[in-house]
Amino acid sequence: MYQFIFILFFLFLFQSCETKNKTNLSIESARLIVKEFIKKNKVPGLSISVSKGGMLIWSEGFGYSDLEHKIPVKPDQTKFRIGSVSKPVTAAAIGILYEKGIIGLDDNINKYVPSFPEKRGPISIRHLTSHLSGIRHYRGNEFFMSMHYNTVTEGLSIFREDTLLYLPGSKFSYTSYGWNLVSAVIEGAGNRPFLDFMNENVFIPLNMDHTIADYNDSIIENRTRFYMYNADSDVINASYVDNSYKWAGGGFLSTTEDLIRFGNAYLKAGFHKQETLDTMLNKQRTLYGEEVDYGIGWRIKTDDKGRSWFGHRGGSVGGSSQFIIYKDAELIIAILTNISKLKYNNTHFRIADCFLPTEDIDFRP
C-alpha cells in the first residue's frame, strides 16, 4: 500500500517537474522573440503577460516607461494606452446590461440615446458593437485630436450630423466612432455616467485596479510616457492628444496583468453567463447573411495554423497593443507598448506558438 502511494507521489512529482520545465522552455523561447522584436523596432518600453489555464505563468517588463528618467516597465503597474482593446473592455458593459434584461442587442439605439439624429434605417446595438452600423471612422487628423470633451454626449458631435456610409446591417466597416455611441447607450441604459458604470460593473469586479480613462489633466500614477517614430524611424516624443472623445473606442489605460484578469473572465461562465459569452463570441452576420470576423466587441479569427482565437489589437498615439485569447487552450497573451504605429508582423502569434502544441515553431527574429 505504502509502495503504491510512493509510486503515485513520484509520478505526480515527475509530471509536475516536466510541466514546469516545459513552461520554462516556452517562456525562454518567447523571451528571445520579444527581445529581438524590441531591438529590431527600437521599442522604448514593452510589457507582456501570459496566462495558461487561468494561471499567470509569465509577466515581464522590457525597456522603459520613461526614456528620459530611465523608469523601467513593470507589468503589474505600468499603464499604457491600449487603443482599440478598449472596445472589448467596453463590450463587457454591454454584456452586463444584456444579461440583466435592460437592453436587447437588436434594440434601436435611439431608445437609449434619443438626442442622436435618426438615420436611414434604424441602428441597433448589435450593429454598433459589430461594426455594421454605417457610422464612419476617423477622417483627416481626427486621430490626433487635442480638444477636450467633457461628456460622452459632447463626443458624439464629431459625427452626429454625418450621413451613414451604408444601410445599417448591410456591410462591415470598422469604426471607432460607433463606440462613442456605444458609450452613450451604456449611459442611457445604465442610468450612470459611462466611466462610473465601467468602474463599478467591470473594473472593480474583475480587480482591474490599474485600468482607467486616459485623463490628460490628472496625475495618473505609473502612466507611461508616449513615443512615436520620426521620418528617419528614430524614437521621439509623441504628439499631444486628448482621448476624451473616445473612451469606449480607444481611450483607456491599462496594464498587461489587468488585461489578463479581464481575459480570464471570457474563458468560462462566471463574470458573464454562458449564454452571454456565447452571444458575444459569436461571429455576426450582415443583413444578407454574410459572416463577419467580429462578435460583440471582439475580433474572432483563426491563425495560420487553423487555431481559433478572439481578441483585439490597439493603436493609439504613443501606444500599440495586442490582446489574444485561445479559448480551447485557455491561453491569454497581452502585449502593450508605448510607441505609435508599431508593426507586430505576427510576432504575437509566434509568441503564442511557444505555448501551444505545434509541429513547427520558428524562433528566428
Q: Find the mean pLDDT for residues 319-324.
A: 99
Confidence of residue 3 (pLDDT cuts 50, 70, 90): low
Dihedral angle, C-alpha 59, 63, 65, 71, nearest 10 °: 100
- DSSP letter at 193 equals -
* Summary mean pLDDT of the chain: 94
What is the per-residue pLDDT for 357?
82
| 3-class DSSP assignment, residue 264 | helix
Confidence of residue 258 (pLDDT cuts 50, 70, 90): very high
Q: Find the mean pLDDT for residues 192-199.
A: 99
CA distance 40 to 120: 48
CA distance 156 to 300: 28
Q: Is the pLDDT of residue 218 over 70?
A: yes
Cell of 67: 526614456
Three-state SS string over 93-158 comes to HHHHHHHCCCCCCCCEHHHCCCCCCCCCCCCEHHHHHCCCCCCCCCCCCHHHCCCCCCCHHHHHHH
First to last CA, the chain: 53
Q: Which residue has the higher pLDDT, 364 or 211?
A: 211
Confidence of residue 12 (pLDDT cuts 50, 70, 90): very low
CA distance 190 to 94: 10
Q: Find the mean pLDDT for residues 111-123.
A: 96
List C-alpha distances in Å: 179 to 4, 155, 237: 60, 11, 28
Confidence of residue 358 (pLDDT cuts 50, 70, 90): low
Q: Find the mean pLDDT for residues 38-55.
A: 98
Confidence of residue 103 (pLDDT cuts 50, 70, 90): very high
Q: Is the pLDDT of residue 24 over 70?
A: yes
Query: 229 with 339: CB under 8 angstroms?
Result: yes
Q: Find the mean pLDDT for residues 258-267.
A: 99
Q: Find the mean pLDDT for residues 67-74.
A: 98
Q: Is the pLDDT of residue 9 over 90?
A: no
Q: Find the mean pLDDT for residues 176-189.
A: 99
By the 10 Å C-beta count (0-12 exposed, 13-18 middle, 19+ buried), 39 is classed as: exposed
Task: List 237's β-bridge partners, or say none.
Answer: 227
CA distance 205 to 214: 20
| pLDDT tens column, 224-254 | 999 999 999 999 999 999 999 999 999 999 9
List C-alpha distances in Å: 164 to 47, 49, 98, 119, 140: 38, 39, 26, 7, 17
What is the per-residue pLDDT for 160?
97
Q: Is the pLDDT of residue 157 over 50?
A: yes
What is the per-residue pLDDT for 141?
96
Confidence of residue 298 (pLDDT cuts 50, 70, 90): very high
Q: Find the mean pLDDT for residues 100-122.
A: 97
Confidence of residue 22 (pLDDT cuts 50, 70, 90): confident
Q: Does the domain made of 42-301+312-353 have the CATH classification 3.40.710.10?
A: yes
Q: Is the pLDDT of residue 299 over 80?
A: yes
